[in-house]
């Protein structure tokens, strides 16, 4: 198959901002999911899988591995200081792994889930600040880094990234 290798330093993919990848209007959110087939290399840095976020932490969402190798799935109300998130405990992600973050659009932390190879990580979402709903921004979608200056670059390979306007359950992720 085809995959893209990221060096964790200065490589990313991006696509222009489009309303098809906006899932909130500042008042209401819409359900959506992010999936990626990754083969990450463990290190002590955050590794962004996909983001619609600038370098000042303004934006709509981010899906990444944190420095402790836990999955971090976040939707933002304009800035990451007002957010809903789900941080799955440290993952043993070796080899190619299907990782995903789903959001039911409820505006509630309980609506955030993360999965690894189709298994719900079982973690409960949390909220930070006063979250109302995602707001449409002009940020591009980046794969492998956030904000366009290679911050938190992904180290490893990705075979695909999917963003869909539906909260996918485990069975749908494998279909």
In this structure, what token pair is assigned to residue 172?
């749908």
Q: Is the pLDDT of residue 92 over 70?
A: no
Dihedral angle of Cα 135, 98, 160, 80, to the nearest 10 degrees: 20
What percentage of the chain has pLDDT greater than the value 90?
A: 48
When pLDDT is cut at 50, 70 and 90, the band that residue 91 belongs to is low
Asked if 83 and 77 touch (Cβ cutoff 8 Å), the reply is: yes
Burial of 10 (0-12, 13-18, 19+ CB in 10 A): exposed
In whole angstroms, what is the distance from residue 95 CA to residue 40 CA? 7
Task: Encode pLDDT of 5-43 as tens digits.
Answer: 999 888 888 899 999 999 999 999 999 999 999 998 888
Q: What is the pTM of this model?
A: 0.91
132, pLDDT greater than 70: yes
């Amino acid at each position: 198959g085809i995959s893209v290798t990221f060096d964790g330093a200065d490589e990313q993919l991006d696509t222009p901002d489009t309303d098809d990848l906006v899932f909130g209007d500042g008042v209401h959110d819409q359900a959506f999911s992010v999936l990626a087939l990754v083969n990450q290399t463990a290190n002590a840095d955050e590794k962004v899988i996909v983001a619609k976020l600038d370098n000042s932490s303004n934006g709509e969402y981010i899906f990444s591995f944190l420095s402790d190798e836990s999955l971090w799935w976040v939707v933002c109300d304009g800035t990451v200081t007002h957010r809903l998130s789900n941080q799955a405990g440290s993952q043993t992600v070796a080899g190619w792994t299907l990782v995903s973050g789903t959001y039911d659009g409820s505006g509630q932390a309980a609506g955030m889930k993360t999965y690894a190879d189709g298994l719900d990580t079982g973690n409960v979402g949390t909220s930070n600040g006063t979250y109302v709903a995602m707001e449409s921004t002009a940020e591009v979608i980046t794969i492998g880094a956030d904000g366009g200056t290679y911050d938190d670059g992904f180290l490893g390979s990705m075979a695909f990234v999917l963003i869909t306007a539906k909260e996918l359950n485990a069975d749908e992720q494998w279909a």
